[in-house]
Amino acid sequence: MVLIEAIHFLYDAIRLDEKLLIREFDNLGINYRLVNAEDLVFEIPGINDVGVAFIRTVSQSRTYLLSQMYEAMGGRSINPYLSIAIGNNKAVTLAVLNRVGVPIPNTVITLSSESAIKALGSVGVPAIIKPVHGSWGRLVSLVGSVEDLALLARHRSSMENPQYETYLVQEFIKKPGRDIRVTVVGDEAVAAIYRYAVSNDWRTNTARGGKAEGVRIDPELEDISVRATKAIGAYYAGVDVVESDGGYKILEVNTVPEFKNVQRVTGVNVARRVVELVIDVVKRG
């Protein structure tokens, strides 16, 4: 048994990723407690059992709140709440990466559809339109004209969600039908996969059915992926990278990353590496 304080493994769904992590916690004899986030109650004022939270909740809002609560009440969060807040917002992520010199696609953030339409003039067409929050390629669109964007804006307006009043307008990188997911743990890019687009879909997310194959991680790819992870303050992350004529560019940094496909395709035991990182963070205090 590793003699460290009990780690709260917080979840709201046990996916394959979480099963792989649980197996490694057990294999390494870690002192941990599996906690369904839906069962958590915080009493204020009161005595709350907060220590180290290893947060694997699917819900972004739960993840953000749990990380904040644990840190606010004197505990710790893996990943830290600030990194989660940055990673959950694509616009803020890109701003942070650009500030530290990590290469990103040309991007314009606007707070209205009118400004987004004007932004097409500087970004050019075709362009990618994304919500600032969200996963798995949802509500990500490719527009080829002002008319396309105006139609998309009308659709967003009908959804009556204030979140969709923010537009992330990004240059379309003519990638070779694929992007790269790099899993970073600590100071190392431990594994990476190519994610290929399915037929008739320019998006490459494997959650949408795209196939995957292993990547040989070169020094440049490792460097920008690790730098991106550290820039937002994360201990570990899934970094999405695109290949452009000018080299690699970072699209986003995921702070509660899925890694099952990376582990399956590459044969690297990502779950073991993540759990070893958690132990190291706890021991360092």
**Three-state secondary structure readout of 66-119:** HHHHHHHCCCEEECCHHHHHHHCCHHHHHHHHHHCCCCCCCEEEECCHHHHHHH
Q: How confident is the model at residue 205 (pLDDT cuts 50, 70, 90)?
A: low
| Residue 46, pLDDT score | 79
How confident is the model over 16-24, as a mean pLDDT? 99
What confidence category does residue 159 fall into, taking pLDDT thresholds of 50, 70 and 90?
confident
Q: Judge whether 54 and 31 are in contact, CB under 8 Å.
A: no
Report whether pLDDT(274) > 50.
yes
Q: Where are the domains of the chain?
A: 7-86+278-284, 106-171, 175-268
pLDDT digits (tens, 9 = 90+) for 89-116: 999 999 999 999 999 999 999 999 999 9
**Residue closest to 178 by CA, chosen among 159, 206, 207:** 206
**Stated length of the chain:** 285
pLDDT at 220: 98
Q: What pLDDT score does 168 carry?
A: 97
Identify the pLDDT of residue 1.
35
What is the structure's pLDDT at 2? 37
Assess contact for 20 and 271: CB atoms under 8 A.
yes
Q: What is the 3-state secondary structure (H, E, C) of the chain?
A: CCCCCCEEEEECCCCHHHHHHHHHHHHCCCCEEEEEHHHCCCCCCCCCCCCEEEECCCCHHHHHHHHHHHHHCCCEEECCHHHHHHHCCHHHHHHHHHHCCCCCCCEEEECCHHHHHHHHHHHCCCEEEECCCCCCCCCCEEECCHHHHHHHHHHHHHCCCHHHHCEEEEECCCCCCEEEEEEEECCEEEEEEEEECCCCCCCCCHHHCCCEEECCCCHHHHHHHHHHHHHCCCCEEEEEEEEECCEEEEEEEECCCCCHHHHHHHCCCHHHHHHHHHHHHHHHC
pLDDT bucket at 201, cuts 50 / 70 / 90? low
**Residue 126 corresponds to which tokens in the numbers above?**
């075709």
What CATH code would you report for 7-86+278-284? 3.40.50.20
Count of C-beta atoms within a 10 Å radius of residue 163: 12
Residue 209 dihedral angles phi and psi, to the nearest 5°: 100, 0
pLDDT mean over 154-179: 87
Q: How confident is the model at residue 3 (pLDDT cuts 50, 70, 90)?
A: very low
pLDDT confidence of residue 24: 99
d(CA 185, CA 226): 8
Q: What is the mean pLDDT of residues 155-160?
A: 82
14-41 mean pLDDT? 97
The whole-number average pLDDT for the span 155-181 is 87
Instruction: Please write the tens of the pLDDT for every residue from 125-141.
Output: 999 999 998 776 677 99
Entry pTM: 0.92
Q: Chain-wide mean pLDDT for the chain? A: 92
175-268: which CATH number, 3.30.470.20, 3.40.50.300, 3.10.129.10, 3.30.200.20? Answer: 3.30.470.20
Q: Which CATH class is domain 106-171?
A: alpha beta
Q: What confidence category does residue 6 fall into, taking pLDDT thresholds of 50, 70 and 90?
A: confident
Name the pLDDT band for 203 (thresholds 50, 70, 90): low
Compute the average pLDDT of residues 185-213.
Answer: 81
Confidence band, pLDDT 50/70/90 cuts, at residue 48: confident
Summarize the confidence of residues 195-214 as an average pLDDT.
72
